[in-house]
Amino acid sequence: GGVTCPGAGANGYFYRCCSSAGHCGPKNDIQDQALYCGDGCQAGYGKCDTQKAPSEPTVARGADAGEGETCGPIVNKKCQAGLCCSGSNFCGTGADFCGAANWCQKNWSGSTNLCKA
């Protein structure tokens, strides 16, 4: 018995598909949904579709998230100035949060130039 991917955020877009490795995703709006929803997607544990990513939210956001707090499209919060929003949707500094290898999300970071290539 496994866990079903719940779907979260606008239209349940995030965490909706179960990859061949058993991971729910996509986790943010910069990850390729094909990693989770494409070949090997497990339909019994989530959706396997090519839903369009939600556009940048237009609703008012809550207060910006501080270090260690949750950020990104699911909670509709940017990080405070100087903090990067990692692909795991947490605010912080350094390569673990600001590095491209960790899916730094420039649109959800304190400023768009914080994410490193």
Q: What is the pLDDT along the chain (117 residues), one digit of tens a residue?
A: 578 888 877 778 888 899 999 998 888 777 888 999 999 999 999 999 888 776 655 455 667 888 999 998 888 889 999 999 998 899 999 999 999 888 899 989 998 789 987
How confident is the prediction for the chain on average, in pLDDT? 85
Domain spans in the chain, listed from the N-terminal domain onward: 1-55, 56-117
- As beta bridge partners, residue 18 has 24
Any idea which residue has 């949750």 for tokens? 70
* Conformational region of residue 7, where left means phi above 0, alpha means psi within -120 to 50, and beta covers everything else: left
**CA 62/CA 76 separation, integer angstroms:** 7
pLDDT tens digits, one per residue of 57-90: 545 566 788 899 999 888 888 999 999 999 889 9
Q: Nearest 5°: phi and psi at 51? A: -60, 145
